Copies of this chain bind each other. A is one copy, B any other.
Amino acid sequence: MAMATLDPEQSLFSAGSYFGTQPPPPTLDQDIASVRSFAHRQRDLGRKVVLVTSGGTTVPLELNVVRFLDNFSAGTRGATSAEYFLKAGYAVIFMHRQFSLQPFSRHYSHSTNPFLDFLEIEHNPDKSSNSSNIAVTPSKRDKLLEVLTTYKSVQQSGLLHTLTFVTVNDYLWLLRAVSQELSILGRSVLYYLAAAVSDFFLPRQKMSEHKIQSGKGSLLIEMDQVPKILKPLVDEWTPDGFIVSFKLETDPALLVPKAQAALERYGHHLVIGNNLHRRKYEVVFVSRDHQGSAASGVAITWLRISPAAVDARGRAKEIEEDIVAELAKRHQAWIDDLLQQSFE
């Protein structure tokens, strides 16, 4: 047997026993303070806020960590969506895995579009070589100017706040703290939980202190289940927030049933399902059907773009544009729904 999931025994952590036994990350207090002041500022301005989580989480196998389990995620979905949320008028907390893609700089990945390749050196013949100029390659200028202009204006406006995590433990502590801080905003907060969070972890008490030594045969790792954090998020930490989770699968047959099961188990608002290989062109929104037209009480909406689709500027269209537009609409309906209730 190479891999197996074992029966749950004493190894099942609840959210309570998790936070009671696993230590918080050292920067937590500082992150909480920064989010608190961001949340108050946005409340005073009457602005809607989205928490975007992005990238994978690691599960270190050693206290002095050399090896870790990781989840595949470059952070494209989160970084791209954050830009469209800003465009839609949201204030954004971008909570991402260290070194995963970030809004704006994502357009210039060192691997696929390195920025050094579109800078040119212009030698000034009149002066010493020391006065050479650095210029942007003309063909790259328009796009860079657009990205740069938006980036600078977002920075000045203070509408983007970035938080960083590495391990699944960092992520869990941070999500709890941030959602508690954001709860003061009531229904104005949207949770867009796009990070690829590990389902398993190694409790600190079971970690090896130093690098596991090889040379003694095969390696056996037994991991515990990460507590299902959506439950307390919905029920306790931020009961009024509009909560969107993601489900990534590789087996197409499992996608909708798994998304539906998550929705039923946690009672939140929406699950966005995506298949690993088609995630750039197709997602499925699974939500409760308030109209009651579907027998199952579940509404399933597919959102698709053609791989050849272009946006208004003639550039490759990104499906996140449509995802965010649809979410902004549904989030507003959720807010309006409360207003309507208060008039009734």
Which residues of A come within 8 Å of B, CB atoms? 1-9, 11-12, 58, 61-62, 64-72, 74, 98-99, 101-102, 104-105, 108, 110-111, 114-116, 119, 121, 132, 134, 136, 141, 144-145, 147-149, 151-152, 164, 196, 198-200, 202-203, 206-208, 210-225, 248-251, 254, 276-277
Partner of A67, one of B9, B70, B134, B211: B70
Taken together as a complex, chains A and B put the C-alpha atoms of A298 and B281 apart, in Å, by 59
Partner of A218, one of B8, B99, B108, B136: B8
Closest to A7 in B: B217
**B121, A134: Cβ atoms closer than 8 Å:** no
Of A58, A99, A249, the most chain B CB neighbours within 10 A belong to A99
Partner of A2, one of B71, B111, B207: B207
Partner of A145, one of B115, B134, B141, B214: B134
- Chain B residues within an 8 Å CB radius of A141: 134
Partner of A8, one of B101, B202, B217, B250: B217
Q: What are 9 A-B interface contacts by the 8 Å CB criterion?
A: A5-B214, A7-B217, A8-B216, A8-B218, A68-B72, A121-B149, A200-B214, A210-B251, A214-B225
Taken together as a complex, chains A and B put the C-alpha atoms of A225 and B217 apart, in Å, by 6
- Chain B residues within an 8 Å CB radius of A58: 70
A111-B98, A251-B210 are known contacts. Are A221 and B151 too (CB-CB below 8 A)?
Answer: no
A3-B212, A148-B119, A148-B134 are known contacts. Are A71 and B66 too (CB-CB below 8 A)?
Answer: yes
